[in-house]
Structure 1
Amino acid sequence: MGEICQFNRANASAERSDAEPFALGFITNATKDRVDTLQAEKRPLRERLKINREASRIKRMKTSVGHAARLLHFDAHTERNAQLWNKKFITLTYADVDGWQAGHFGAFRKAMNHWCRERGIRLRYVWVAELQKRGALHYHVVVWLPKGKYLPHADAQGWWPHGMTNIVTAQSPIGYITKYASKTTVEQAMGYPRGARMCGHGGLQPEGRRHVRYWQAPMWVRDALTGKADIRKVSGGYMDKFTGEFLPSPWRVVVGAGGQVWAYRIDDQLQEQAA
């Protein structure tokens, strides 16, 4: 019996030595190759797309400014008591190249809104921040006022104590503001002070704000939710506030070692599992 056991152990050892080396805690090369193959079959290589954050920012700015200006212009001219409108184009300039600070434009906007509220005027405006060649930020603002109402000069009124202001009549308010929105380049956007916004608007009714949000959403979201949705960006995707329908994003974003941003589309199967 002892001879038979020794023979069997010898044969097993010989078979193991003839096949592949074996060691506890390690995986043989053949097993590793097979695992890599299976992983490659399950998770094929995905094409990565490099994202230019400044270009994306400019695109969102153009979309917001263009649609907000058109909606405000239309809204002003279709009020129940529709009247002639006094459309003003305001420029706010800094005296110092590095004069920008967070809150400067907000204080101007608050003062302008207070002036309008005291006179029973609903303030409608769109603004764009532009970087001058000298490196200073300045603001372009279009305001819709009822005929016969005139805003005071912001610097003389104390609304803009940081430099000079100019105010003129805007014959084509939409053309004025969209022109300045289209002038911004990627290089200029990279030079904006940290924390500075590129654009904004005020005075839209809820339905108008819904329209702007719709056009700012990615195309795949607009195609899925239609123009009747109130699209909101939420963690992991988008949702329709009216119905609560959630669309998980098919994209994942990663940041490289050099700060570059990449996006790749996940597999449909993995997306279904995540949902």
Structure 2
Amino acid sequence: MTPPAHRRAVLRVAVRYALRYALLLAVLALTIGPFLWQLSTSLKGPGEDIYSYPPKLLPSDPTLHNYAEVADTIPVWDFALNSLKVAAANVLTNCAGAALAGYALARMRFRGRKVAVVAFVMAMLVPLESIMIAQFLLMRDLQLNNTLTGVVLPGCIGAMNVLLMRNAFAHLPYEVEEAAFVDGANAWQRFLRIALPSVKGTLAVVAVFAFMGAWDDFLWPLIVLSDQSNFTLTIGLNFLHGTFADNQRLVAAGSVIAVLPLIVMFACLQRYFFRGVGEGAVKG
């Protein structure tokens, strides 16, 4: 290859990489830009203009006074504790229920198995708003209105999570379980000791999705809860926004408080989360 042709090829590769990284930086800015702006606003003091132009991302005098004022104004930690209870219960029920249902659909042979899979797929197509009235009436008949149990129960096992676990179990080689069956392992032993440890990545995906869905849910807790002592964080922050609509610093501080548990949850499970793509492989 002649030197000019080589330089043109190198230039094309450089331009291609530059465009690729520029696109990635633009997506990154759109993804985390709003959170960084909220974090910056929550750390700015009352004497700093948050509407200045050009906008300043770094506070000139960072302070945690806004977080303390949020905690003094509304029982934000009580709301956060309620949300944590709901999210933890949602994670446990979804991981346990989806794993059991997914294993049964993937590994066990019984009449109506295909119909059950179709039913889970169809359940994903039903909008939540169309069944919310029926859910509310059911919670009322069970006398679970205005309780955290009533918040958790409708979403304790998600159809999407069941299908995720089913696909993970379906990709496991049958030979491993057949060998365990020959050695005398029953269905529970094969599930707990062989199948379940092999799908930790998918379990992490289910846990993250379940936690995020329960933590961020606003409409259903707003409908089923009426006592302020049972309010979740999303409902409590809505009251904060209505009370201090002119003080965006407090609203931003409340938003950061609501987002931090999700970041911690994902940071703890990210290793298993990204392993979910290669689920079902057998180690030698």
Same fold (TM over 0.5): no
Structure index of larger Rg: 1
- Scaled by the length of structure 1, what TM-score is found? 0.24
- Scaled by the length of structure 2, what TM-score is found? 0.23
Structure with the higher fraction of residues in strand conformation:
1
